[in-house]
Amino acid sequence: MRYDDFLDADSLARYAAALNQRAGGGQIQLDDLRHLILDSGGRCAWCGADLRRVDFEVDHVQPLARGGAHVLANLALACWPCNRQKAAKSPIQFAQEQAVRGQRTPLVLRLLAAHGLDVLTQRTLFDPPSSSPPLSDDDEPPPYRW
Protein backbone atom coordinates (compact mmCIF):
# COMPACT_ATOMS: atom_id res chain seq x y z
CA MET A 1 0.00 0.00 0.00
CA ARG A 2 1.20 3.53 -0.66
CA TYR A 3 1.05 6.30 1.98
CA ASP A 4 -0.94 9.38 1.05
CA ASP A 5 -2.91 12.03 2.91
CA PHE A 6 -5.99 10.79 1.09
CA LEU A 7 -6.48 7.05 1.53
CA ASP A 8 -8.77 5.40 -0.98
CA ALA A 9 -11.47 3.42 0.89
CA ASP A 10 -11.40 0.56 -1.63
CA SER A 11 -7.63 0.15 -1.37
CA LEU A 12 -7.83 0.30 2.43
CA ALA A 13 -10.61 -2.29 2.49
CA ARG A 14 -8.57 -4.66 0.30
CA TYR A 15 -5.47 -4.16 2.47
CA ALA A 16 -7.44 -4.70 5.70
CA ALA A 17 -9.01 -7.87 4.23
CA ALA A 18 -5.57 -9.17 3.23
CA LEU A 19 -4.20 -8.45 6.72
CA ASN A 20 -7.14 -10.14 8.39
CA GLN A 21 -6.88 -13.19 6.13
CA ARG A 22 -3.13 -13.53 6.72
CA ALA A 23 -3.57 -13.25 10.48
CA GLY A 24 -6.18 -15.99 10.58
CA GLY A 25 -8.02 -14.41 13.50
CA GLY A 26 -9.17 -11.03 14.72
CA GLN A 27 -10.46 -8.29 12.51
CA ILE A 28 -8.85 -4.94 11.86
CA GLN A 29 -11.52 -2.53 10.72
CA LEU A 30 -11.05 -0.11 7.85
CA ASP A 31 -11.28 2.96 10.12
CA ASP A 32 -8.73 1.51 12.54
CA LEU A 33 -6.33 0.92 9.68
CA ARG A 34 -6.88 4.46 8.38
CA HIS A 35 -6.11 5.92 11.84
CA LEU A 36 -3.01 3.75 12.22
CA ILE A 37 -1.68 4.97 8.90
CA LEU A 38 -2.46 8.64 9.46
CA ASP A 39 -1.22 8.58 13.09
CA SER A 40 2.16 7.37 11.86
CA GLY A 41 2.77 10.78 10.31
CA GLY A 42 4.13 9.03 7.25
CA ARG A 43 7.11 7.58 9.13
CA CYS A 44 8.36 4.03 9.66
CA ALA A 45 7.87 3.07 13.31
CA TRP A 46 11.21 1.22 13.36
CA CYS A 47 13.61 3.58 11.59
CA GLY A 48 11.72 6.82 11.04
CA ALA A 49 12.07 6.68 7.24
CA ASP A 50 9.75 8.92 5.26
CA LEU A 51 6.92 6.79 3.87
CA ARG A 52 5.06 9.53 2.04
CA ARG A 53 4.28 8.53 -1.53
CA VAL A 54 6.16 5.22 -1.20
CA ASP A 55 5.01 1.70 -0.45
CA PHE A 56 4.73 0.69 3.19
CA GLU A 57 3.69 -2.38 5.12
CA VAL A 58 1.76 -2.92 8.33
CA ASP A 59 3.93 -4.83 10.78
CA HIS A 60 2.84 -6.93 13.73
CA VAL A 61 5.19 -5.62 16.45
CA GLN A 62 5.00 -8.93 18.29
CA PRO A 63 5.08 -11.26 15.25
CA LEU A 64 2.17 -13.61 14.66
CA ALA A 65 4.72 -16.43 14.46
CA ARG A 66 5.69 -15.66 18.08
CA GLY A 67 2.12 -15.56 19.33
CA GLY A 68 1.43 -11.89 18.66
CA ALA A 69 -2.18 -10.82 18.47
CA HIS A 70 -3.85 -9.40 15.40
CA VAL A 71 -5.08 -6.29 17.19
CA LEU A 72 -4.58 -2.61 16.51
CA ALA A 73 -2.28 -2.15 19.52
CA ASN A 74 0.14 -4.69 18.01
CA LEU A 75 0.36 -3.01 14.60
CA ALA A 76 2.82 -0.42 13.34
CA LEU A 77 3.66 1.09 9.97
CA ALA A 78 6.99 -0.10 8.61
CA CYS A 79 9.10 0.49 5.56
CA TRP A 80 9.79 -2.53 3.40
CA PRO A 81 13.46 -2.95 4.52
CA CYS A 82 12.61 -2.80 8.26
CA ASN A 83 9.73 -5.23 7.92
CA ARG A 84 11.99 -7.70 6.06
CA GLN A 85 14.89 -7.30 8.51
CA LYS A 86 12.61 -7.78 11.50
CA ALA A 87 10.72 -10.76 10.03
CA ALA A 88 9.74 -12.96 13.00
CA LYS A 89 12.38 -11.62 15.41
CA SER A 90 11.47 -10.66 18.92
CA PRO A 91 10.49 -6.97 18.97
CA ILE A 92 13.00 -6.37 21.79
CA GLN A 93 15.82 -7.94 19.79
CA PHE A 94 14.97 -5.85 16.74
CA ALA A 95 14.58 -2.70 18.85
CA GLN A 96 18.07 -3.29 20.25
CA GLU A 97 19.45 -3.76 16.74
CA GLN A 98 17.77 -0.56 15.59
CA ALA A 99 19.08 1.37 18.60
CA VAL A 100 22.63 0.21 17.87
CA ARG A 101 22.16 1.52 14.32
CA GLY A 102 21.15 4.90 15.80
CA GLN A 103 17.43 4.47 15.09
CA ARG A 104 15.77 5.75 18.25
CA THR A 105 12.16 6.10 17.21
CA PRO A 106 9.39 6.33 19.82
CA LEU A 107 8.54 2.63 19.26
CA VAL A 108 12.15 1.52 19.72
CA LEU A 109 12.58 3.61 22.89
CA ARG A 110 9.22 2.47 24.30
CA LEU A 111 10.06 -1.22 23.79
CA LEU A 112 13.50 -0.87 25.34
CA ALA A 113 12.17 1.12 28.31
CA ALA A 114 9.40 -1.42 28.90
CA HIS A 115 12.08 -4.07 29.36
CA GLY A 116 14.36 -1.96 31.52
CA LEU A 117 16.92 -1.44 28.79
CA ASP A 118 18.52 1.98 28.44
CA VAL A 119 20.10 2.31 25.04
CA LEU A 120 21.46 5.77 25.80
CA THR A 121 23.74 4.56 28.60
CA GLN A 122 26.68 2.33 27.78
CA ARG A 123 27.62 0.14 30.73
CA THR A 124 31.18 -0.98 31.27
CA LEU A 125 32.24 -4.55 31.73
CA PHE A 126 32.84 -3.91 35.43
CA ASP A 127 29.50 -2.27 36.28
CA PRO A 128 27.64 -4.30 38.88
CA PRO A 129 24.30 -5.73 37.78
CA SER A 130 21.52 -3.20 38.24
CA SER A 131 19.71 -5.51 40.68
CA SER A 132 22.57 -5.60 43.20
CA PRO A 133 23.29 -2.70 45.56
CA PRO A 134 26.49 -0.74 44.98
CA LEU A 135 29.54 -1.83 46.96
CA SER A 136 30.55 0.29 49.93
CA ASP A 137 34.16 0.89 50.95
CA ASP A 138 33.85 -1.82 53.66
CA ASP A 139 32.59 -4.51 51.31
CA GLU A 140 34.95 -7.09 49.93
CA PRO A 141 34.95 -7.23 46.14
CA PRO A 142 33.65 -10.49 44.73
CA PRO A 143 36.28 -13.12 44.02
CA TYR A 144 37.26 -13.35 40.39
CA ARG A 145 38.78 -16.34 38.69
CA TRP A 146 41.04 -15.60 35.79
Spatial separation of the C-alpha atoms in residues 74 and 62, rounded to whole Å: 6
> Counting Cβ atoms within 10 Å, is residue 104 exposed (0-12), middle (13-18) or buried (19+)?
middle
Residue 65: partners with Cβ closer than 8 Å, 6 or more residues away:
88
**What would the pLDDT profile of 13-33 be if each residue is shown by its tens digit?**
888 998 998 887 778 998 999
| pTM of structure | 0.75
- Please report the pLDDT score of residue 43 as a whole number: 94
What span, in angstroms and rounded, lies between the C-alpha atoms of 60 and 75? 5
pLDDT tens-digit readout, 61-84: 999 999 999 999 999 999 999 999
Average pLDDT of the chain, as a whole number? 83
pLDDT reported for residue 132: 52
pLDDT level of residue 116 (50, 70, 90 thresholds):
confident
DSSP character for 70? -
Distance CA 37, CA 107 (A): 15
- Report all structural domains of the chain as residue ranges with CATH numbers, in order of start: 9-85 (1.10.30)
Give me the torsion for CA of 55, 58, 59, 63, rounded to 10°.
Answer: -130
